[in-house]
């Protein structure tokens, strides 16, 4: 084949491709269509019609000294550690409602953990703690629900504690409040009441690793992106629920969040 022939073929091919592209509907040009719809997981934003689409759910473990001690570890020597929940583990709870939360399968020791949740609007890697809060879009009040018996048993066996932490509806939270309106949450009372009796009662200042430090540490391990949310750890006095129990979570500066175990 001489060079002229080759050029002719290439040109013809390019024209054929261009012609094909022009005749295909615009929507199909984005790529193959999914076989079935997978709904996006979203969280309502207070005061906005837009919603917050969740990309990943990160959680920090043992981030209050007194809770670290009750879980059997030494808070003075432990670097932060993280785990994830699946994106669709989210259960949204509307302000002013008491959302039904089904008692999950497999566990006989189902625990509450009230936590501040930070929602990111941007991300990156190796983010310095001093710049970390620039990536926070807003905050929510959340519950990191836990099958404690399975978490402990799997941990004791040095197996992943996945089914103890990362199951359906295990990431409960209220709507996101933009930090532009609330400011950043570096201090403030956080509490949880079970059937009207206060069980967890602490202050965000008691976190071992601040939200900014958590973002910095996480970004050393993962590229953080818009849509990531971070459960920032629970204070001491976690405990069990049974069907019929009502949990009321409070964080200074945000509306209450409440669920009923059904």
Write each residue from 180 to 219 as x if it is in contact with Mn ion (CB under 5 A), else as -, in one continuous string. Answer: ----------------------------------------
- Of residues 78 through 117, those in contact with Mn ion by CB under 5 A are 113
User: Residue 201 is inside which H or E element, if any?
Assistant: strand 197-203
- Other CB atoms closer than 10 Å to residue 84's CB: what's the count? 17
**Cβ-based nearer residue to Mn ion, 45 or 59:** 59
Query: What is the total count of residues that contact Mn ion (CB under 5 A)?
Result: 3
- Of residues 111 through 150, those in contact with Mn ion by CB under 5 A are 113, 144
Q: Which of 179, 178, 198, 176 is nearest to 189 (CA)?
A: 198
Q: Is 228 in the site for Mn ion (CB under 5 A)?
A: no
**Cβ-based nearer residue to Mn ion, 45 or 238:** 238
Q: Would you say 192 and 250 are in contact if contact means Cβ atoms under 8 Å apart?
A: yes
What are the residue ranges of helices labelled H in the chain? 3-23, 65-70, 129-132, 148-156, 162-165, 179-182, 211-221
Q: Is 225 exposed, middle or buried (0-12, 13-18, 19+ CB in 10 A)?
A: middle
Q: Which residue is nearest to Mn ion (CB)?
A: 144
Binding part of the chain for Mn ion, among 34-42, 48-56, 215-223, 227-235 by CB under 5 A, reads 227-235
Q: Kind of pairing, strands 246-251 and 189-194?
A: antiparallel
Q: Is 166 in the site for Mn ion (CB under 5 A)?
A: no
Q: Dump the DSSP string for 35-56.
A: SS--PPPEEEBTT-SSEEE---
Binding part of the chain for Mn ion, among 182-190, 195-203, 231-239, 254-262 by CB under 5 A, reads 231-239
Q: Would you say 195 and 241 are in contact if contact means Cβ atoms under 8 Å apart?
A: no
Q: Would you say 48 and 178 are in contact if contact means Cβ atoms under 8 Å apart?
A: yes
Write down the least CB distance from residue 259 to Mn ion, Å: 16
For the record, the structure tokens of 236 come out as 């001491």
Write down the least CB distance from residue 228 to Mn ion, Å: 16
Write down the least CB distance from residue 187 to Mn ion, Å: 19
Q: Which of 91, 200, 210, 234 binds Mn ion (CB under 5 A)?
A: 234
Q: Is 237 in the site for Mn ion (CB under 5 A)?
A: no
Write down the least CB distance from residue 165 to Mn ion, Å: 8
Residues that bind Mn ion (CB under 5 A): 113, 144, 234
């Amino acid at each position: 084949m001489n060079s002229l022939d080759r050029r002719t073929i290439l040109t013809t091919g390019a024209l054929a491709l261009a012609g094909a592209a022009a005749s295909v509907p615009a929507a199909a040009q984005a790529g193959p269509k999914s076989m079935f719809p997978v709904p996006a997981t979203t969280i309502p934003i207070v005061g906005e019609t837009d919603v917050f689409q969740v990309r990943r759910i990160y959680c920090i473990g043992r981030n209050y000294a007194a809770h670290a001690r009750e879980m059997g570890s030494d808070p003075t020597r432990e670097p932060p550690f993280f785990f994830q929940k699946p994106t669709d583990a989210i259960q949204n709870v509307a302000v002013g409602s008491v959302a039904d939360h089904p008692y999950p399968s497999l566990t006989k020791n189902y625990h509450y953990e009230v936590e501040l949740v930070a929602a990111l609007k941007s991300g990156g890697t190796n983010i310095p703690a001093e710049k970390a809060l620039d990536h926070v879009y807003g905050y929510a009040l959340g519950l990191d629900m836990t099958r404690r018996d399975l978490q402990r048993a799997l941990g004791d066996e040095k197996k992943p504690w996945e089914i103890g932490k990362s199951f359906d509806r295990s990431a409960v939270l209220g709507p996101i409040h933009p930090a532009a309106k609330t400011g950043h949450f570096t201090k403030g009372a956080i509490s949880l009441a079970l059937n009207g009796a206060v069980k967890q009662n602490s202050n965000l200042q008691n976190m071992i690793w601040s939200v900014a430090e958590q973002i910095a540490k996480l970004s050393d391990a993962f590229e953080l992106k818009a849509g990531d949310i971070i459960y920032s750890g629970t204070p001491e006095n976690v405990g069990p629920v049974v069907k019929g129990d009502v949990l009321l979570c409070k964080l200074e500066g945000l509306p209450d969040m409440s669920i009923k175990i059904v």
